[in-house]
Amino acid sequence: MSSMDTLKRHLPISGPEGLHELRKIVERFEEKIYSTATSQVYPSC
Question: 3-state class of 32 per DSSP?
Answer: helix
Half-sphere exposure of 42 (CA within 13 A, CB side): 5
Tell me how far apart the alpha carbons of residues 25 and 6 are, in angstroms, rounded to a whole number. 12
**pLDDT tens per residue, range 19-44:** 898 899 889 999 999 999 898 877 66
Tell me how far apart the alpha carbons of residues 3 and 35 are, in angstroms, rounded to a whole number. 16
CA angle 11–3–29, rounded 5-degree value: 95
The mean pLDDT of 7-30, rounded to a whole number, is: 86
User: For residues 22 and 8, is the Cβ–Cβ distance under 8 A?
Assistant: yes
The boundaries of the domain holding residue 12 are 3-38
Provide the number of structural domains found in the chain: 1
In a domain, 25, yes or no: yes
